[in-house]
Structures are given as structure tokens and as C-alpha cells.
Chain A
Amino acid sequence: MTTAPTSTPSTLPPTRTARLTGAAANYIDERTSISGIVKELGRKIFPDHWSFMLGEVALYSFVVILLSGTWLTFFFQPSMAEVHYEGSYVPLKGLEMSIAYASALDISFDIRGGLLMRQMHHWAALLFIAAIGLHMLRVFFTGAFRKPREINWFVGFVLFILAMAEGFTGYSLPDDLLSGNGLRIIDGMVKAIPIIGVWISYLLFGGEFPGTDVVARFYSLHILLLPAVLVAALGVHMLLLIINKHTQFAGPGKTNDNVVGVPIMPVFAAKAGGFFFIVFGVLTVIAAFFTINPIWNYGPYDPSPVSAGTQPDWYIGFADGALRLVPPHLETVIFGYVFSWNILLPLGVLPLFLGAVAFYPWLEAWITGDKREHHIADRPRNAPVRTAIGAAGVTFYAVLWAAASSDLIATHFGLGIEMVIHTLQALLFIGPVVAFMLTRRICLGLQRKDREIALHGFESGRIVRLPGGEYIEVHEQVDEYERWKLLAYDDYQPLMLRPNARGQITVGERIRSRLSGWFYEDRISPVNQRELEESSHH
């Protein structure tokens, strides 16, 4: 990459800097053989589509998190020993609190630039996970998780979980009222697990909640173990991204065997570098002007008070919402042991939901029986059932998410909180079904429209009167480039139920064929060559 300046026309003698760079590049290459990697990497092609840059937003906000987080470690002290606050925030002066909270306050009020850094770190964390979520949705709805990218989908899912774990441990560190309330909920969930729950809780907190250890323990996890695993998984994610190459949307000249776009060097690197600074800048502006987690309002943690409007950060909201939506009184007492289903139910359902997200690529591959490699991203409408499943999942998640702010929905829209809860409880079950059916119908409708446009062109809005007196609207044909997008997608058939080598039809096969039928029985076939030729004749 650094040798680029030497490739200027040979008629000019290389400048002094160019010679120096050349020599330096050569020095490094002779000792590391790095040129191979640089050549390979520099030629990695990125197709141009805005939705392909969402992962980058996550990556760059992670860099901001690393930088600001490192800065915060210089001043934060993860100790739960008690001190009297002597800093400059008046309404807390003289109050007894943990060193962790006092140092977080000092960062906010008495260390130059501290509040900006704290707010940047926290805002960047919210952006990081939001960008991951949007990136995952993009990959899901375009089918970019299909072979050969299933493993990378799973690695990405692990990154998502790690990011949430990072977020939660970080949320607990300042040892303010809000973080303590959050920890208390986790403690309650852990304790609800039959038999081992109480043991785990005592192990985690080093005694009865809240104890004096948890901040230091979460600090180790937050700055050491979790980031290490996260960076490693990120490395694997990037590596697989390069090995698998990038997907692209169908278009003339864009096939399953190539990638059309700009190479990393120099175009994409310049763009991406610029984009990094834009992300950094946006986060800085937000951190400079908008308060996040005003720990000084919450006061030191004390197990007795709980504030109205106590919520987790947005990415844990779905779990909080699940707890809020479970009907009360769901408890069984067996031999004097209480089983709190109102906690165990969400604790069981949420991992199922997350598991479905993690293993969806294999599930779909099994149902469709599709073993081919796919490098062309689907338009969501061309996979109606997958898109509908995605919409149902998004609805399910969104209802849980909304439930986490049920109290604010009630106050801000002038509703009764019971009504909000009951509506959301019903929506949790009805919403995904309705979303599934609606989305599938809309997808099929859009496909039908595409087919119509490909065959007969689009309505031009121009009305012509024929010599015979008849009025017609002129249809204009779409150009070749546009038509390509409408035609290029795979046509699937439901799997036939066939006996295996031993002449048996297994139960698994029956389920599979049933599911495959559900996936593909309603479908719009892409326009084939014959239809296209026929249509062009009239």
C-alpha cells in the first residue's frame, strides 16, 4: 500500500519521500512477508450499498468505547469501601457512599473532560449495540447468513450477546441507585432458579446482596475478560468477512461468482476512515450536549429506595419487559419450595428466542434443503416467509421492549398502566402472528407487482386516444438494468416427501417436508425467458 507513490510514470525520477517509503516498505516486507496480506486485503471489494455500512457503525463506535473506556479506567476506582463525598456536587456533599460512586462523581465533576468522556463512553455503548441490532436485521432480511456465512452469523450473534454483557456490567459499575436496582433484579432472577439459584447469588455477590465485592468483580469482567473475548470474536468476524467475501445485490454483471464494488485500497479505506471520524464526531456532539445516566441524580446505592422510571439501558429492555408482562401470582409451592414462574417463565422464553436467532441459518437451510453457496443478497420480498418470520420476531421483541417502558407510555399518553400492560400482553401473542401474515401477503403482492412490471412495464400516466376512439394508457418498459433486479432471484419448490435409502419415511422428514411446504407453497415464480420474449411481442 505504501508503495503506491512509486508507481508514478517512470519518466520522472522518484522523489525523496517516495524513495524513503519504498525503502521502508521493502524493509518491512523482507522481514514479515506482509505484502501478500496487504495485496490480498487491499483488493478486498466492498459493494456500494448503504445497508452494508451498518456493521461499520458498530465497529467504529466500539473503537470509541475502547478509547473512552481506557481513559475512564485511569480515574475510576472499583471499590465498595465507604467514604464521605467531598467533591463539588452540592446535593451529595458529606454523604456516605462507596468509593466507586465517589470516583464516578469525581470523573463527572472534578476531572477535566471527565463528564464528556463518561457520556461519550455510555452513548457509544448505546450506539454500538443499536448498530449491531440494525446490522443483524440487514443480514437477516437479505439472507446474507446463508451458506457460506452461517458461522459468521453465529459469531456476530456472540458479539451481540457479549456487547449486552459489556453494557450490563458497565451499567452496574458506578454503584448508584439505578445500577443497584438493576443488579437487584438480576439477583432476584438468579435466586429464582430452583435449588442452585441462591448458591449462585451468594457466589456472585460474595454473600448476601449487595455485599462489598460485586463492583470489583464486574469491573474485572467489564474491562478484562469480556473485552478480550469480544475483540477475539471481532477478529474472527472480520477474518470470515474477508474469507467469505462480501454479498451484493443482484444487478447486471453482478453474479454469484464475483463481487462488484470498490477495493479497500485506496477508495474504501478513505471512505471508511472518513466515516470513522464522522461516527466519532457524532458521538462527541451527542455527548457534549445531551445528558446520559446522570448518576448524581440517583444518589449512592441503598437497597431501600427505588426510583419511578427505573429502567435498564435499552438493550436489556426486552428482558425487563418480559418480567413486567408476566401475570402476577404465578407460583407453585412444592415441598415448601417456591417456584416463581413469573420469573422462571421469562428466564426460559428469552433464551429460546435468542437461540432461535442464533441458529436460524441452520434451521432455514434444513427446511429448504438448500446446500448451495449464496453470494447474492435477497431482496426481502423475494423470500416472503423468511421476511415474515423476521417481522414476527421484530414484533415480539418490540412488544417486550415497549413493555419495559410501560410506565412512561402510561404517563406520556395519558393511559392507565394496567391497560398498557394488558394490551401489550395480548400483543405479545397476537402481534407476531398478525405481523407474519401481513408481511407475507405484502411480500407476495410486491413480487406480483414486480412480475407485472417486468412483463408489461409500468404505467406511464400518458393516456392516448386511438383512431377508433378507444383510450389506452401507455405502458413503458423498464430498462434492462432495472429489469435485471426484478428477475434475478431463486425459485424454490417445496421439498417432496421421499423415502430414504432404507425405504423409510422418518418423522423428521415429515416435519421437514411440512415446513418446506409452509415456506414455499405460496410463491411467485420469477419471470422466465419465454414469458419475457412473449411479452415483448405485444
Chain B
Amino acid sequence: MSKKTTSDRSGRGRNTGRRHPLATVALLAIGLMTTGGAYAAVTTAAAADETASPAVTQSTIDEGQVLFDANCASCHGLDAAGTENGPTLIGVGSAAVDFQVGTGRMPMARNQPQAEQKPAQFTDEQVTALAEYVASLAPGPAIPDEEYLQADGDATNGAELFRINCAMCHNVAGAGGALTQGKYAPTLRGVLPQHIYEAMQTGPQNMPVFNDLNLSPEDKADIITYLKYIEDNPAPGGFRLGDLGPVAEGLFMWIFGLGALVAVTVWLTAKSH
């Protein structure tokens, strides 16, 4: 899919005429057939999501609907239009569902300030089915392309963007932090690149939405690159102490540093019996 868009772009960019004269026609034919085929398969017009993966079939959507009715509808309503216990899911897109269900935040265990991350309740296939079902209701942000999830972007740019846009809640090293009313920004360690991207795109819980005009897909990829860099490379200074900053350092020095030395003073002044 991504390859197709890039070749499309470059083809239009430089019309060198090196291609076979019929190439454009063939491409058009293929394009029309794919679109038509997809249209036939996906009866609802709304499902024509610009980046919907070719695996989307009516049966996946149906499977997703069954799962939705059984697990989500009690709060979000049978038509996913929301109830007083849960918001509407019309237009949240597959990215939001993939993030919320894929990280185990949904279904929520209980009513609490924010949905907590927990072991995912569904298999990957089921998560996809749910995501496709919700995406089929109305267009919305889709699950991101693989090309942005490789963590091979510009770490410096990512780090700077992270400090400016994310660090005030998630801490400079992504260790997380407190928000108001019992809510919090979770740690970003061990979060899949796909989920990081989806969180930026959909703004789950208290997080603001960082749309593509705010942080372009490349910027998001850079941020993922930075987060994966500090996660995958050993900490230069030794044990990180949770990356929590001076509080952890002070506590460590009082308890272990001074504690050890007080033990030594007791030993030095101990009388032999």
C-alpha cells in the first residue's frame, strides 16, 4: 500500500516518458478494479477508508460486530453512538480501537479516572476485527503505515519534539507523570511503536490529539525513533533509578549512601566484647 502511494507520487512528480505508453492505462485499470472490488466487498460506503488494508472483508467486520456487541456495547451502545457510560465511537477510526483494545485499556475493568493499561483481552485478529468494524461505521484515523514505525528516523528531531510536546506529562525520558484528579501520563517504555503513533494520532484518555498538521507522520516517526533509542540503548550512567530525576536520586543517597556509611560508623566505633 505504502509502496503504491510512493510510486504514484514519484510517477506524477517526474513524467520522464520512460514508461511504456500503456503503463498509465494499465495502472488505471488495476486501480479501478481494486477499488471496484473493494467496494463490492465492503457494502457500506463509509468503509472506503483511504488506508484500509486489503485484508478488510465483510466477514472480519461481521466478526468485529459480534465482538463489539458482546464486549463494548454495554457502555458504547449497540450502534456505537455512545451512552451515558461511554462516548460515541462513530468516527474514532481503527487507530483508536487498535490502541485502546490492543493495549488492554478497553474493555475497562471498572469506572475509574482513566483506563489503565493491562494485558490485552483479545487476540490480534480480534482486535483487528473490532477496529475494522468501528472503522466501517464512519471514516477516522487508520492504523498507521509500517514505514513510520521502523524507529529509523531522526532521533535528534524526535527528542526535541518530544521535549516540547510530550515531556511535560510523560517526563523527558518517557517515565510518565501525574495529572490532575487521579489521572496520569503512563510510562512509554515497552509500548509498541504502533501504539505510540496511534496515541499521538487519536489522543486517548487525557492526551491531546497531535494531528498530522501539528506533528507530521515523519515527526511522529522521529519521536518513536527517539523513544526506541533510549529504550534499546543501555543507559550511559548505569542504573537509571526509574528516570524519575532528583527525587529518586535524593532518596537513593539518603537510604543507601548515607545508610551504608552510618553502618560503617557503627562498625568503626563498635567495642569488642
A interface list, Cβ under 8 A from B: 48-54, 56-57, 89-95, 108-109, 115, 119, 123, 126-127, 130-131, 134, 177-178, 271, 274-275, 278-279, 282-283, 286, 288-294, 296-299, 302, 304-315, 317, 404-408, 410-411, 414-419
Q: Which 3 A-B residue pairings sit nearest by Cβ, starting from the closest?
A: A308-B177, A314-B250, A291-B237
Q: Is the CB of A91 within 8 A of B181?
A: no
A-chain residues with CB within 8 Å of residue B262 when the two chains form the complex: 50, 54, 57, 134
Q: Is the CB of A282 within 8 A of B249?
A: no
B-chain residues with CB within 8 Å of residue A406 when the two chains form the complex: 178
Which residues, 15 to 56 on B, are CB-close (under 8 Å) to A?
none
Known: A123-B253, A308-B176, A410-B178. A299 touches B237 (CB 8 A): no
Q: Is the CB of B172 within 8 A of A130?
A: no
B266 within 8 Å of A (CB atoms): yes
Q: Is the CB of B180 within 8 A of A418?
A: yes
Docked Cα-Cα span, A54 to B170, in Å, equals 39
Interface residues on B, range: 35 or more
Docked Cα-Cα span, A291 to B253, in Å, equals 12
Q: How far is the CB of A160 from chain B (nearest CB, A)?
A: 15
B-chain residues with CB within 8 Å of residue A51 when the two chains form the complex: 265
Docked Cα-Cα span, A309 to B241, in Å, equals 13
A-chain residues with CB within 8 Å of residue B257 when the two chains form the complex: 123, 126-127, 130, 282-283, 286
A-chain residues with CB within 8 Å of residue B169 when the two chains form the complex: 308
B214 within 8 Å of A (CB atoms): no
Q: How far is the CB of B264 from chain A (nearest CB, A)?
A: 5
Query: CB-nearest residue of chain A relative to B183?
Result: A416
Q: Is the CB of A108 within 8 A of B177?
A: no
A-chain residues with CB within 8 Å of residue B253 when the two chains form the complex: 123, 126-127, 130, 286, 314
Can you name 12 A-B pairs with beta carbons within 8 Å? Answer: A49-B269, A54-B265, A92-B159, A126-B257, A130-B250, A130-B254, A290-B239, A291-B236, A302-B164, A411-B184, A416-B113, A416-B181
Known: A50-B262, A94-B156, A308-B176. A275 touches B245 (CB 8 A): no
Known: A127-B257, A290-B238, A308-B167. A95 touches B264 (CB 8 A): no
Q: Is the CB of A410 within 8 A of B184?
A: yes
Q: Which of A49, A294, A406 has the most CB of B within 10 A?
A: A294
A-chain residues with CB within 8 Å of residue B207 when the two chains form the complex: none
Q: Is the CB of A310 within 8 A of B261?
A: no
Q: Give which listed residue, A50, A89, A119, contacts B266 with CB less than 8 A.
A: A50
Docked Cα-Cα span, A94 to B156, in Å, equals 7
Instruction: Tell me the number of A-to-B contacts counted with CB atoms below 8 Å.
Output: 201
Docked Cα-Cα span, A523 to B268, in Å, equals 36
Known: A115-B236, A278-B264, A279-B261. A307 touches B271 (CB 8 A): no
Q: Is the CB of A307 within 8 A of B237?
A: no
Q: Is the CB of A305 within 8 A of B236?
A: no
Known: A290-B241, A317-B250, A410-B182. 13 other contacts (CB 8 A): A53-B265, A57-B261, A91-B159, A91-B229, A94-B156, A126-B253, A289-B239, A297-B230, A299-B163, A308-B169, A407-B178, A411-B176, A416-B182
* Chain A binding surface, main DSSP class: helix
Q: Is the CB of B269 within 8 A of A50?
A: yes
* Chain B binding surface, main DSSP class: helix
Docked Cα-Cα span, A286 to B156, in Å, equals 30
Q: Is the CB of B237 within 8 A of A119?
A: yes
Q: Is the CB of A308 within 8 A of B170?
A: yes
A-chain residues with CB within 8 Å of residue B271 when the two chains form the complex: 48
A-chain residues with CB within 8 Å of residue B256 when the two chains form the complex: 286
Q: Is the CB of B178 within 8 A of A308?
A: yes
B interface list, Cβ under 8 A from A: 113, 155-156, 158-160, 163-164, 167-173, 175-182, 184-185, 226, 229-230, 235-241, 243-247, 249-254, 256-258, 260-262, 264-266, 268-269, 271
Query: CB-nearest residue of chain A relative to B257?
Result: A127
Query: CB-nearest residue of chain A relative to B248?
Result: A408
Query: CB-nearest residue of chain B relative to A320?
Result: B246
Docked Cα-Cα span, A126 to B168, in Å, equals 26
Q: Is the CB of B167 within 8 A of A313?
A: no
Q: Is the CB of B164 within 8 A of A309?
A: no
Q: Is the CB of B269 within 8 A of A309?
A: no
Q: How far is the CB of A289 from chain B (nearest CB, A)?
A: 5
Q: Is the CB of B156 within 8 A of A289?
A: no
Query: CB-nearest residue of chain B relative to A94?
Result: B156
A-chain residues with CB within 8 Å of residue B247 when the two chains form the complex: 309, 311, 314, 317, 404-405, 408
Q: Is the CB of A109 within 8 A of B178?
A: no
Q: Is the CB of B246 within 8 A of A294?
A: no
Docked Cα-Cα span, A479 to B237, in Å, equals 54
Q: Is the CB of B249 within 8 A of A292?
A: yes
Q: Is the CB of A293 within 8 A of B171?
A: no
Q: Give which listed residue, A309, A317, A418, contacts B244 with CB less than 8 A.
A: A309
Q: Give which listed residue, A53, A126, A299, contacts B249 with CB less than 8 A.
A: A126
Q: Is the CB of A57 within 8 A of B237?
A: no
Docked Cα-Cα span, A406 to B252, in Å, equals 17
Docked Cα-Cα span, A279 to B239, in Å, equals 20
Q: Is the CB of A293 within 8 A of B159?
A: no
Q: How far is the CB of B168 from chain A (nearest CB, A)?
A: 5
Query: CB-nearest residue of chain A relative to B187?
Result: A411
Q: Is the CB of A91 within 8 A of B249?
A: no
A-chain residues with CB within 8 Å of residue B244 when the two chains form the complex: 309, 408
Q: How far is the CB of A409 from chain B (nearest CB, A)?
A: 8
Q: Is the CB of B236 within 8 A of A109?
A: yes
Docked Cα-Cα span, A126 to B177, in Å, equals 24
Docked Cα-Cα span, A296 to B172, in Å, equals 10
Q: Is the CB of A314 within 8 A of B249?
A: yes
